[in-house]
Amino acid sequence: MFNKPILRQEMLAARAAMPAAEKNLLDQAICQQLWTWTLEHEPKVVHTYLPMGDEVDVRPFIQQALQAGITIVAPKSLKGRQLENLILRSLDELEPGIFGTSHPAGGQVYTGAYDLFVVPGLAFDALGNRVGYGAGYYDKFLLTQSKGYKVGVCYPFQMVSALPTEPHDVPLDAVCCGQAATV
């Protein structure tokens, strides 16, 4: 039987053990894939996480998008598995949040539609299913988002053959791991 807590521990350990040079190369490749998609589809509003710990560093992608005039929205984690989605003006204007997260300073809430979602996770499969940290923040948020292209980002070893799903899971449209994107 599939055990999500064990999978989470394994993926966290593997991510922490990744050599810095390999991580940097994959981060660059993932950001380039995201940017290529952006150039092709011209999203006006992008919802993206701000990386913490050993997560894929999407800050170069965020910086490119900001310079191109794309509205960037990043989440602030609240109690009760809620996200408050705030407009990001600069990567230099962040505040610390709960669970080691950071979020845009100033608290300007965004309530409009999104064209692209960049979603973190610990494990993904080729059908766009994901396993996150287990708190359900993104599951709950993505359930309310019927539009917008949803892309998970991870390292190649975080791709697994199949993940079990639950009724509240929202499959992603693609998974970007620095190699050929899936879905």
Pick 4-14+23-176's CATH classification: 3.40.190.10, 3.40.50.10420, 3.40.50.1820, 3.40.1360.10.
3.40.50.10420
**Terminal-to-terminal C-alpha distance of the chain:** 25
Closest CA to 139 of 104, 114, 173, 172: 172
Point out the residues of the chain with pLDDT beneath 70. Answer: 1-2, 180-183
Domain parsing of the chain, residue ranges? 4-14+23-176
Q: Is residue 14 classed as helix, strand or coil in its secondary structure?
A: helix
Q: What is the pLDDT of residues 52-88, one digit of tens each?
A: 999 999 999 999 999 999 999 999 999 888 899 999 9
